[in-house]
Structure 1
């Protein structure tokens, strides 16, 4: 990388390494260290690598200087500490201890400089949000079997423990669904576990008012992080065409059982009609 330095009427060309990629996770779980990696390369004619520095917000927390002994040095600050570091002439990786303050947003900067006399410097910055994001999609319960036209179906959507806790939104056939008056207008949240994590759940009552064969429901669990994190699940409620038939299909009866029920109904109907004619 070429850098132009202007001093009065003199233009000095200084070259620096290129940072090819900075690996900083978007979310970091405070129960474990965050792993960061800075990748860099030198171009033909670049001076040797002088140092690689890591900054947490505006505080230097780690330095790699290949020309010194020892080549690495950590700086413990009030912003946090580095638990591990391993660097070479092409990459520098560190592990940082994350705070237990959920939804905290931290900037990490990798700064690479080359040897003098110009000491050209390049840097890149990325952000990490302290959060325990959902590792699984939310679970929808109460949606098994067929449903009847005019029936009220009670569903529930729940999540595993996370932090910050998720807000749950229901969609019915693609439209946000309002809760019934007897239900809570907000997502229910459990008490915190030993790590401060909380589960979320939200019920929904669906009135089956369509005869098109099915109702599509969707549950979205949104964590209010920066940026927001979302996972979702879908389910389908099958609307039975025949109320009597659906009683057997929903209960798991076999096709032979259903056929026998239909045959019995037909025989009873014919016998009743014959008896009525005989009495005339």
Structure 2
């Protein structure tokens, strides 16, 4: 018999395979517990950022019962910053193309390590990794990686032109949406009353390309919406359509731009009613003009006959006087 604390363990009937399995499971449990104690809880890197801005990189971690040995920042696998509280100097910078750390921007301790990048350019895009390591004897490592795209973001919303007021049943609506210059290129989407416009109503998207002085290729996108207003509901019902053009970059909501216009669709019934009213007005004018003409002709005839009668009565007197 073998006594372990207050428990009596009868080793008879227990084979070595069971003992080995128990030991391995116990060690694995201990190892998992130790690994859970070192945790990189958050890595924040902008997915996309304008080259004129500064990029803030955040890394937070939980050391548990370990001592922090170092925190390292990498771009595309190349180290550009290190914080090592146990080894002076505690902060070090390393030259990496496209990476410029703003003076006095780094802030690191036992819980966080944040740096700020400035003077962003075409070489600043890439994969950024935060690596945290514990001290001896294990020197446990944990890291996370995030991608950052540096570009030129649009300053204005998309421009919509070609709208005409009003439209009628049977008309053809064609409006164009053009984006501001940007890198990466924008993806344009048309919405009609907050519903995605059918693909069949769109003309293929066109992209223009130019080059910025900072080395970025800039793109301008254009997409036309073409609709034949032949829906039967417009025969008897007028409606206002809200047309919205959205410019997206990489599907990121923070850099999304949009513009809206409204198109008035005049119902065929209302349009016909207006035409009838207009026709009646023209008819009334024509009738009035005819009556006026008839009155003038009547007055002319009346004056003519009056003069004729007066002249007829006076003529014999003049004749008799003449002959006498």
TM-score between both structures, scaled by the size of structure 2? 0.60
CA-to-partner distance for each residue in 1:30-76, whole Å, 9 max, x for gaps?
A: 33332101012333xx1221111111121111100112332100111
1:57 aligned partner: 76
Residue 182 of structure 2 aligns to a residue whose secondary structure is: coil
CA RMSD of aligned residues (A): 4.1
In 1, Cα distance between the equivalents of 2:87 and 2:164?
67
Which one has more relative contact order, counting CA pairs under 8 Å at least 6 apart? 1
1:219 aligned partner: 245
Kept in 2, the 8 Å contact 1:171–1:177? The answer is: no
2:262 counterpart of 1:243: no
Kept in 2, the 8 Å contact 1:146–1:246? The answer is: no
- Which aligned pairs between 1:153-172 and structure 2 lie closer than 5 A? 153-170=173-190
Structure holding more helix per residue: 2
2:53 counterpart of 1:32: yes
1:42 aligned partner: 63
In structure 1, runs of 5+ residues without a counterpart are 1-9, 248-260
In 2, Cα distance between the equivalents of 1:177 and 1:222?
21
2:103 counterpart of 1:77: no
- Which aligned pairs between 1:1-280 and structure 2 lie closer than 5 A? 13=31, 14=34, 17-43=38-64, 46-78=65-97, 80-83=99-102, 84-96=105-117, 98-100=120-122, 104=125, 106-134=126-154, 137-143=157-163, 145-170=165-190, 174-177=197-200, 185-189=204-208, 191-195=210-214, 196=216, 197-210=218-231, 211=234, 213-214=238-239, 215=241, 217-223=243-249, 225=250, 231-233=257-259, 235-241=261-267, 242-243=270-271, 265=280
CA-to-partner distance for each residue in 1:195-248, whole Å, 9 max, x for gaps?
A: 54343333444333232544564434344x59898655554432112337789x
CA-to-partner distance for each residue in 1:73-111, whole Å, 9 max, x for gaps?
A: 011134644334221222111123544159x5x211111
In 2, Cα distance between the equivalents of 1:18 and 1:179?
49
TM-score between both structures, scaled by the size of structure 1? 0.68
Q: 1:219 to 1:267 in 2, by over 3 A?
A: closer
In structure 2, runs of 5+ residues without a counterpart are 1-26, 292-324
Tell me which structure has the larger Cα radius of gyration: 2
Q: Name the stretch that deviates more: 122-131 or 135-144.
A: 135-144
In 1, Cα distance between the equivalents of 2:106 and 2:176?
46
Kept in 1, the 8 Å contact 2:174–2:224? The answer is: yes
Kept in 1, the 8 Å contact 2:98–2:123? The answer is: no
Q: 1:235 to 1:269 in 2, by over 3 A?
A: same
In 2, Cα distance between the equivalents of 1:111 and 1:246?
74
In 2, Cα distance between the equivalents of 1:120 and 1:193?
45
Kept in 2, the 8 Å contact 1:133–1:162? The answer is: yes
How many residues are paired up?
Answer: 247
In 1, Cα distance between the equivalents of 2:220 and 2:179?
6
In 1, Cα distance between the equivalents of 2:281 and 2:53?
68
